Amino acid sequence: MEKDETRNLARVSNFEFRVWDLQFRFAMLSDALKRKFDQVIARYPLKRSAMVPLLLYAQDEVGYVSEEVIQEVARRIQVRPIEVVEVVSYYSLLHRQPIGQYNLQVCTNISCLLRGGQEILEHCKKRLGIGHKQTTPDGKFSLEEVECLGACCGAPAMQVNYDYYENLTPEKLDALIEKLKDSDK
């Protein structure tokens, strides 16, 4: 066998391995999630419009937006992976690293700031023993300071996963954290 033929075989083998590896990783997504992807994509006239819902569903299953999720979403909606990465980096609800079971997002934009948002954030930090974009050692809570939740009338506001909490006080926050801690018992 000539040197060029050997090099071409190695290239083909490496490519086939990468294809197999990606197929194996995609197989790690549940069949239910794959069906959900198909349903969501079918609702949009442009496939790329389904990107954010697909990412949210995948994050709910996987725990974060992994490289495999990015590749699968890009493949399904026929965009380049970098376009998916750009969207993930824009939205505070999407995470590239695993987060806690309960992700506390505290708004400190102007309305919340004027009504005690910074104090709520500081109380969270103290109570949970973590800072911005950190997770408690038990994996139960993550904390983020966010720009705006669109809940100005109920400031100070916080979002925990997909649920909003408004007109927060340190006492209301303590009660919520205790309720979340006890929810698994």
Contact between 162 and 122 under an 8 Å Cβ cutoff? The reply is no
What tens digit of pLDDT does each residue of 5-39 get? 544 444 444 444 344 344 444 447 899 999 999 99
Q: pTM, whole model, 2 decimals?
A: 0.73
Query: What is the per-residue pLDDT for 160?
Result: 95
Query: What is the per-residue pLDDT for 25?
Result: 46
Domain architecture of the chain: domains with CATH:
3-90 (1.10.10), 102-182 (3.40.30.10)
What tens digit of pLDDT does each residue of 55-114 get? 999 999 998 999 999 999 999 999 999 999 999 999 888 999 999 999 999 999 999 999
Query: What is the per-residue pLDDT for 113?
Result: 95
- C-alpha–C-alpha distance, residues 127 and 121, integer Å: 10
pLDDT at 48 over 90: yes
Query: What is the per-residue pLDDT for 184?
Result: 72
- Average pLDDT in the 160-179 region? 96
Half-sphere CA count of 141, side-chain side, radius 13 A: 25
pLDDT band (50, 70, 90) for residue 4: low
